[in-house]
Amino acid sequence: MISLEQYIVVSSLLFAIGFFGVLFRKNTLVIYMCLELMLNAANLALIAFSRYHGGMGGNLFVFFTITVAAAEVAVGLAIIVALFRKRQTVEVGELNELKN
Amino acid sequence: MTDVFFYIFATAALAGALGVVFSRNTVSGAMCLIGTFLSMASLFVLLEAYFLAVIQVLVYAGAVMVLFLFIIMLLDVKETAAKKASIYTWAASLIGFGILITGVFAISAAVSIKNKAPTMPEASGTSLKAFGYELFTTYLLPMQVTGFLLLIAMIGVIVLSKKVNTE
């Protein structure tokens, strides 16, 4: 039988890999995909806790998280497209107007 | 038997996640992410969250990733293979990764969640009827707010992607 700890290990590794990607990559689209990965890792932890604790709260929370994530992806990608239209780039290193 | 499936799908999910981070080509990164989402849906099935597994495949691996691939191909970003990550980026990212992992493992060691057996009450997480019942009684207000949020997101996306007139 798989213990709760193993699910938490997988979930935390996925979250940490997503975090690593957010810090490591320069492409806005890849950073955004890594953010999705982090959201999903949290979902996995919530479902595992819900299963081992014996309640429906975690499952329902994941349902809401998925809905909000879908809305967030739509808005975020629209922002990236608007940014690309204005600047012709998606590299975070070149988007530094606010710096000066 | 479920143990074997757990290890297979957990490995697939982690491999896909590494593929997203390290692939040079954005489209293959998105493909890796689809693989990760499908493996995670399988993990949801192992956790007996069947409805959420279906939602995961439909919404994440389906709608969200199609949107991602559509935008990636629409923007047609030039390859930046020549640009290597600097040593500082590597160091900072690895330190961040290490701190997160250490924190999580320290907490999970302190709380001792090792030998907890699954105690899902019958006909809860598994049945769609229970899901819908909870959604429309206990969680009615969050449900309505989520619907409103989707409406706002839709309007926001329309406004954002409208052609801006530069006078």
Compute the distance between CA of residue A28 and CA of residue A34 in angstroms, rounded to an integer: 10
CB pairs under 8 A between A and B: 223
Mutate to test the interface with A, among B6, B27, B60 (most CBs of A within 10 A): B60
Compute the distance between CA of residue B160 and CA of residue A80 in angstroms, rounded to an integer: 10
Mention every residue, 6+ apart, whose C-beta is less than 8 A from residue A4: A48, A49, A52, B113, B114, B116
List beta partners, residue A27: A91
Over residues B141-161, the pLDDT tens digits come to 999 999 999 999 999 999 988
Closest chain A residue to B86 measured between Cα atoms?
A24
Closest chain B residue to A13 measured between Cα atoms?
B101
CA distance A93 to chain B (A): 12
Q: Which residues of A touch B80 (CB under 8 A)?
A: 26-27, 91
Largest CA distance in chain B: 66
Residue A14 pLDDT > 70:
yes
Mean pLDDT rounded to a whole number for chain A = 88
What topology is assigned to B1-81 in CATH? Four Helix Bundle (Hemerythrin (Met), subunit A) (1.20.120)
Q: Do B100 and A71 touch (CB under 8 A)?
A: no
The token duo for A87 is 């600047």
CA distance A98 to chain B (A): 20
Q: Which residues of B touch A79 (CB under 8 A)?
A: 160
Compute the distance between CA of residue B41 and CA of residue A69 in angstroms, rounded to an integer: 16
Over residues B69-103, the pLDDT tens digits come to 999 998 877 655 546 778 888 899 899 999 988 88
What is the value of ipTM here, to two decimals?
Answer: 0.92
Over residues B42-52, the pLDDT tens digits come to 999 998 888 89
Contact A30, B26 (CB under 8 A): yes
The token duo for B34 is 């689809």
Place of tokens 């530069």: B166
Q: Which helix (H) or strand (E) holds A14?
A: helix A4-24
List chain B domain ranges.
1-81
* Of B120 and B34, more confident: B34
- Size of chain B in residues: 167
Contact B13, B43 (CB under 8 A): yes
Mention every residue, 6+ apart, whose C-beta is less than 8 A from residue B125: A50, A51, A56, A59, B47, B48, B49, B131
pTM metric for this prediction: 0.88
Q: How many CA atoms lie less than 13 Å away from B44 in the CB half-sphere?
A: 28
Compute the distance between CA of residue B147 and CA of residue A62 in angstroms, rounded to an integer: 15
Buried b vs exposed e over B66-92: b needs ≥16 C-beta within 10 Å?
A: ebbbebbeebebeeeeeeeeeeeeeee
Residue A91 in 3-state DSSP? strand
Q: Do B6 and A2 touch (CB under 8 A)?
A: yes
Predicted confidence at residue B128, as pLDDT, reads 81
Chain A touched by B27 (CB under 8 Å):
no
